[in-house]
Structure 1
């Protein structure tokens, strides 16, 4: 029988097709590393049962590109926001254009937005201003939030707590922080997105005992591709580019941490994502 995978980019050992459809809530498919073979990337994802992908929009240009991809490919949706790295570019004009994007049917969340005090490519003051402006847009649109946080947990929690009654749902994507930060987010009824970071024995294993503290109806999975290639893969991959077809390996690692089957975790996280983003995973 011919392999369902497109071209030979993925070695046969990595061509893992789980028994249930999965949802990748964070795929940076507008990254230029996908320019040459995006059709094949999407087809490989579908062959791996990753039937739904949320394409992350981190600024106006990338959000507009994400919308175009969502129009082109069934099963793809977009977010629209300004990443904290780019918060210095926030303006009334950016706010106006973001609000227009949030009104489109392809856009299912406000973000990626939040705080990143690790690298401070924009100042903390600029980040907080842009973040609060996007919280206001989320409150106005009713859309859920797709959040980024690094080394800014206490301040993020304070800001979100002040807005919690005005916004709908929110997910802290690519969570990598500690127990106290996790519990602070859960206390605010936030969702948590986990990536291949948990597969990294050098820096991600502190997350393993925390996974069981996240209610299944608050947990979602993501690749954050092309970044964070899992280190648990049983074969080497050409280059270091991550892609949605590898999401099943992250699900397998997380299921092992939780002591449940891949299928149970896949079904639970897909159902949570479908409800959170208000999407039809059969589209």
Structure 2
């Protein structure tokens, strides 16, 4: 059984020094490929560097390149040009993390929208999929996406935490959905339990969003409280339970979906790694 974690914040300070050991644990758990998330120009460059440094095969680690809505105040024409250059790198497989965050509003909403539109235009130009972030902004995000959707290869709403209305609107627009350990949170994620059944096969992908969103159902819990890609198995278990699927079936179709979405190569499971 192979898994792909489509969202790992491996450039986060809490993970950088632990990266080799963290990757070893992930591979041993059957997480055979990962997408390192770029959240700013500098972090996108760092993510690409990690792909090169930590994956000699060139088949395991890939990255996204983009400007997160929290960092949208930094968006300008120079940023766009530098980002365009990064998107030409073979290891960079998607534009993002980009989108709208009207929950925390770390950047002005007008600037968030400008940065999103600029990155969607780049995705159309480069014919790359988009890795989207959205909090409390689904209606505005949909309005902006409508002008680009027909020209985009694909787009995934990563770490979906919204309600039924938002989910169905995203699905109606042909978007993919990423599910994290949020679904394992009995305090705020139980509304996702019936909703994950509604995501069609071929449109669902799994992610940890490490080091954030440690699954609260995980036992034993790590003492450091940090999430990591090896714990994607806990997300798999929870999602499979609520979809009424076996873990093997869910792993098979979400992995196939991620591989197609990000245009990832097939990989063998080396001896010593888990083949469930």
- 1:127-206 aligned at under 5 Å gives the runs 127-206=112-191
Equivalent residue for 2:7, pick from 26, 31, 39: 26
Work out whether residues 51 and 281 of structure 1, in 8 Å CA contact, stay in contact via their aligned partners in 2: no
Q: How many residues align?
A: 264
Give the conservation status (yes or no) of the 8 Å contact 1:102–1:110: yes
Residues 166-186 of structure 1 deviation map (CA, whole Å, 9 limit, x = unaligned): 211000000000000000000
Contact 1:233 1:249 in 2 (8 A): yes
Alpha-carbon distance in structure 2 between the residues aligned to 1:81 and 1:37: 24
Determine the structure 2 residue equivalent to 1:4. Answer: none
Q: 2:27 aligns with which of 46, 51, 68?
A: 46
**Runs of 4+ off more than 2 Å:** none
2:104 to 106, 109, 119: 119
Root mean square deviation of aligned Cα: 0.9
Distance 1:121 1:45 in 2: 32
How far apart are 1:196 and its partner, in Å?
A: 0.1
Alpha-carbon deviation of 1:141?
0.2
C-alpha deviation, 1:35, in angstroms: 2.4
Q: Secondary structure at the match of 2:267?
A: coil
Select 1:242's aligned residue among 220, 223, 227.
Answer: 227
CA distance in 2, matches of 1:234, 1:132: 42
Counterparts of 1:272 and 1:245 in 2: how far apart (Å)? 19
**Residue deviations 1:44-103 (CA, integer Å, cap 9, x gap):** 000000000000000111111111111121400010000000101001110000000000
Contact 1:52 1:281 in 2 (8 A): no
Alignment of 1:36-115 (within 5 A): 36-72=17-53, 73=55, 74=57, 75-115=60-100
What does residue 272 of structure 2 align with? none
Distance 1:264 1:138 in 2: 31
For 1:214-229, list aligned pairs within 5 A: 214-229=199-214
Q: Which runs of 5+ in 2 are unaligned?
A: 269-276
TM-score w.r.t. length of structure 1: 0.92
In structure 1, the residue matched to 2:253 is: 268
Deviations 1:139-168 (A, max 9, x none): 000000000000000000111112111211
Distance (whole Å) between structure 2 residues aligned to residue 44 and residue 117 of structure 1:
35
